[in-house]
Structure 1
Amino acid sequence: MRDYQSVSHTTRDCKYHIVFIPKRRKKVIFGMRRKHLGKVFHELAAQKNWQVVEGHLMPDHVHMCISIYPKYSVSYVIRYIKGKSAISIAQRFMGKSRNFTGENIWARGYLVSTVGLDEERVRGYIRHQEKEDEHYDQLKPGI
Structure 2
Amino acid sequence: MPRRLCEYKGIELPERKACIDHTHVCTSTLPKYAAVSIIGYLKGKSSMIVFKKYSKLKRNFKEHSSNPLKGCQ
**Structure 2 length normalisation: TM-score?**
0.76
Q: Distance in 1 between matches of 2:72 and 2:14?
A: 17
Alignment size in residue pairs: 67
Q: Secondary structure at the match of 2:31?
A: coil
Q: Give the aligned CA root-mean-square deviation in angstroms.
A: 2.5
Superposed, which structure 2 residues align to 1:26-45 within 5 Å? 40-45=1-6
In 2, Cα distance between equivalents of 1:71 and 1:111:
22
Alignment match, 1:79: 40
Tell me what 2:9 maps to: 48
Q: Secondary structure in 2 aligned to 1:43?
A: helix
Cα distance between partner residues in 2 of 1:110 and 1:44: 23
Higher relative contact order (CA 8 A, sep 6+): 1
Q: Which runs of 5+ in 1 are unaligned?
A: 1-39, 113-143
- 1:69 maps to 30
- Name the CA distance, whole Å, in 2 between partners of 1:87 and 1:73: 21
> Does the residue aligned with 2:38 lie in a helix, a strand or coil?
helix
Structure 2 residue runs without a partner (length 5+): none
1:56 aligned partner, one-letter code: K
Please list every run of at least 4 consecutive aligned residues from structure 1 whose deviation after the TM superposition is greater than 4 angstroms.
Answer: none
Separation in 1, partners of 2:71, 2:33: 17
1:27-83 per-position Cα deviation (integer Å, ceiling 9, x unaligned): xxxxxxxxxxxxx10011000000111001010210111111100111111110000
CA shift in 2, pair 1:80/1:110, >3 Å: farther
Once residues 111 and 55 of structure 1 are traced to their aligned partners in structure 2, the CA distance between those partners, rounded to angstroms, is 16
Q: How far 1:111 moved relative to its partner?
A: 2.8
